[in-house]
């Protein structure tokens, strides 16, 4: 069952973002949010808070997520959590703008 993560705050969340909104998006996309999903959203929000968002490199973000979740399996683990792409789907749920190149419309692949 998808639940709110009441244990840890989201100090780097965008002003307009809420856990309730993220849950609604997740439901619409067929995801059941767990503490692992929320952890990735926090990691994305923290990463964006340290960068100039219009100039976020999808490759650097991917590497940062892979390193952050290395002990759990890195990007392979994140794809299991976010089948539509840990960056593309994760950014939608985290209330963040996707970096350029996160979705390749020519092939339909996602990062």
Alpha-carbon distance of 53 to 35, in angstroms, equals 25
Its domain, for residue 32, covers 19-110
Q: What is the pTM of this model?
A: 0.85
Q: 20-75: per-residue pLDDT in tens?
A: 999 999 999 999 999 999 999 999 999 999 987 678 999 999 999 999 999 999 99
* Beta bridge mates, 104: 109
CA angle at 59 for the pair 81 and 83, rounded to the nearest 5°:
20
9 is a domain residue? no
Instruction: Tally the domains of the chain.
Output: 1
Residues 6+ apart with CB under 8 A from 14: 45, 94, 95, 96
In the chain, the DSSP E strands lie at: 103-104, 109-110
Is the residue at 39 inside a domain? Answer: yes
72 falls within a domain: yes
- Examine residue 11 and state whether it is found in any structural domain, yes or no: no
Which of the 8 DSSP states describes residue 107?
Answer: T
pLDDT exceeds cutoff 90 at 6: no
With 80 as the cut, is the pLDDT of residue 78 above it?
yes
Residue 100 has pLDDT above 80, yes or no: no
């Amino acid at each position: 069952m998808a639940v709110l993560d009441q244990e840890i705050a989201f100090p780097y969340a965008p002003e307009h973002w809420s856990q309730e909104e993220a849950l609604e998006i997740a439901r619409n996309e067929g995801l059941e949010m767990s503490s692992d999903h929320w952890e990735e959203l926090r990691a994305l929000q923290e990463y964006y808070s340290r960068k100039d968002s219009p100039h976020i490199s999808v490759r650097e973000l991917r590497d940062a997520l892979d390193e952050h979740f290395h002990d759990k399996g890195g990007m392979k683990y994140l794809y299991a959590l976010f089948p539509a792409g840990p960056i593309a789907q994760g950014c939608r749920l985290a209330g963040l703008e996707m970096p350029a190149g996160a979705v390749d419309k020519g092939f339909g692949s996602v990062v």
